[in-house]
Chain A
Amino acid sequence: MNTKPTSGPQPTIEFRAVTYGLFRSSSQTIVSNISLSIQPGETLVLLGRSGSGKTTLLRLINRMVAPSRGQILIEGRSTSDWDPIRLRRHIGYVIQEAGLFPHFTVAQNVGLVPGLENWEASRTKARVAEMLKLVGLDPSEYSARKPRELSGGQRQRVGVARALAADPPILLMDEPFGALDPVTRAELQREFSALARRLDKTIVFVTHDLREALALASRIILLQSGQIVADATPQEFLKIDHPEIQAFTASLATTGGAAV
């Protein structure tokens, strides 16, 4: 590989001078010239306002969109060299409303990717039960339910279980707890934080909520207008002197209470 000699292991995800825009003109650029290395086991939070490019950055990783310029390497291989189907089955994905299939039961939803990968039925079944327990749902009670018979928080748990079912090394999460009530949200954040430490996955988590970023991240990237304006651990993050960080800190004050 033509990688520059770096210290430490190969990054799981690496952005190399990535630009993405709808058109070539600079006014339509959504993310511009992003370079970023994400190491194995990191829980990286992409923080930013709506339209800052954080979701686009996430979608570039599993090639839901392709970069206009630059490249993204997953485990050392450019996403353009991966078969997109293989790449996506290698990466778990959780979105805000969970995106569960309403015509599938909970078990069918969780067993989807193992099924696509032609796992044996018994192995899939065992895995589904294991995943449901992992996210705090009793398999005997929830397996046969349809998503509409679940609460918002339970649906989101199933979404996480589904993303983890085929044991992908990478997990992408796009404001997964964004639509939940504050109490359920805090509950899921706490549990997810503990889960993330235990699982040893590389996680990229998108949010516009500083409190959530501080609670979950091992590293926070702040995006503004498609560019990285800060890159720090949660401990260092609040000490950085940058107007956008101050704007986010001010938002904490108005929503009340101290962070962490």
Chain B
Amino acid sequence: MSSRWEFLSSHQSEIFSATLDHLTLVVIAMVVAILIAVPLGMLIVQRPTLRRIALGLASVFQTIPSLALFGFLIPVPFIGGIGRRTAIVALVLYAILPILRNTYVGLTGIDPAILESAEAMGMTASQILWRVRLPLALGVILAGIRTATVITIGVATIAAAIGAGGLGTFIFRGVAMVNDAVILAGAIPAAFLALVADFLLALLERRLRIA
């Protein structure tokens, strides 16, 4: 037991820098995923065909086991290969579905009386989207971002398998060495990151949700 804590304390700086790497991976992936999924969600509100394609495709990516998805991406030109870039692409593909689905649900789940009066007062479709639908959907969209962030923090540990670094490095090394202490050096900070992210985003969500 004591050897485990010894490993953690003696590798503090290494764990810290892996945590930072991990966090960078997650933040970049989340920013890209949000920039894709939120506008796409706004776009599919009025376009049923595109909606089916986008939600279908996003669901397909989510069903691919994460390790397989990382593997599939390695031979793909431009976005593939070994390293961080490939990992980020895979994480983005994973994070899109929860954000896209929540954006769509949030934008379309608004009280019909509110939308009716917006239309009847002579607001244009884009005014209704930006001034009514989007502000009212913000809480639901943020809930999707929160789910996606927690998932991404977990999935990002697997990114180490394709040489993207991060906390997964310890986990893979520990599994290979059959050494719990090394696994925990990756798993504990990853779990901690997920809890903190979940807590902070929940706080923000509560502030943005309009009762």
Contact = CB atoms under 8 A, between A and B. Distances in A.
Interface stretch (B8-16, B98-106, B111-119): B111-119
A89 B114 contact: no
Interface in A54-99: 62, 64, 84-91, 93, 95-99
B113 A64 contact: no
B188 to A, nearest CB: 40
A116 interface: yes
A123 interface: no
B210 to A, nearest CB: 5
Contacts of B132: 101
Contacts of B43: none
A89 B122 contact: yes
B113 A97 contact: yes
B203 interface: no
B121 A113 contact: yes
A148 interface: yes
Interface string B107-144: 00001011011111111100100001001100000000
A172 B124 CA distance: 19
Given A95-B117, A96-B113, A148-B211, A103 B122 contact: no
B123 A102 contact: no
B121 A103 contact: no
A91 B121 CA distance: 8
Contacts of A112: 121, 123
B210 A88 contact: no
Interface residues of B, number: 18
Contacts of B211: 102, 148
A99 B117 contact: yes
A176 to B, nearest CB: 11
Contact of B114 (A87, A90, A93, A102): A102
A119 to B, nearest CB: 14
A85 B119 CA distance: 8
A229 B117 CA distance: 29
A101 B114 contact: yes
Interface in A103-128: 103, 112-113, 116
Given A95-B113, A95-B116, A97-B113, A102 B136 contact: yes
Interface of A: 62, 64, 84-91, 93, 95-103, 112-113, 116, 148, 162-163, 172
Given A86-B122, A99-B120, A101-B118, 9 more contacts: A90-B122, A91-B120, A93-B120, A97-B113, A99-B118, A102-B210, A103-B135, A103-B136, A116-B127
